[in-house]
Amino acid sequence: HFPIPSVYDPSYEPVNDVMFYGCMTNKIRRPFADRIIDLSQGSLSHLKWDIKITNNGQRTPDEYKKAINQCKIGLHYFGNSRDSIRIWEIASTKAAIIMPKLRMKSTSEGYMPFNEYVAIEDDFSDLEEKILYVLENDRWKSLGEESFQAFEQRHSPQHCFNYYRDTLKKYFII
């Protein structure tokens, strides 16, 4: 997968329970966004949500960095690809990640595995249950730390560079 730099800023404290910033670059995301809005206004309205859904991606990098560093749970749903910048940014900030199961060879065992997130069904039918599970007993803290450590040890730009360099060395004289 692509190496994505960390956006972690320890000067922020997690004040929001759930965060989703999404751009509707692919219509497959619309039902997920609608479900999040329904939960935030319905059965999970008691939680503190930070939701921003746009059609054109208008937000500043600083706005997103602050939001992602201030959440306990970062939600992700694939759009144009399963490997998204958002996955690695969320992991880098010590937020727990809830998203559908990754199905990429690059993040499977034997490559650069990433399993430090809570998987939901592709139809997000269990999203409410998983949000409550992650928030219960501050489970988000340990899950977020696990994703952060995975990012630092296996998914940082330096690690991605080393992995691809070493892979190329197996096949080419460099």
pLDDT at 58 (0 to 100): 65
**pLDDT tens for each residue of 42-84:** 999 999 999 999 887 666 788 889 999 999 999 999 865 555 7
- Strand 16-23: give its sheet, edge to edge: 49-54, 16-23, 71-75, 96-100, 118-120
Long-range contacts of 52-59 (CB under 8 A, 24+ apart): 52/20, 52/21, 52/22, 53/20, 53/21, 53/22, 53/23, 53/24, 54/22, 54/23, 54/24, 55/23, 55/24, 56/23, 57/23, 57/25, 59/21
Q: Cα angle vertex 115, ends 24, 166, to 5°? A: 100
Q: Is the pLDDT of residue 86 over 60?
A: yes
pLDDT at 70 (0 to 100): 98
What DSSP element (H or E) covers 140? Answer: helix 139-150
**pLDDT tens for each residue of 135-157:** 999 999 999 999 999 999 988 99
3 state DSSP class of 127? helix
Q: Would you give the DSSP letter of residue 43?
A: T
pLDDT at 28 (0 to 100): 85
Single pTM value for the model? 0.91
Q: What is the number of other CB atoms lying within 10 angstroms of the CB of residue 70?
A: 18
Q: Is the pLDDT of residue 103 over 70?
A: yes
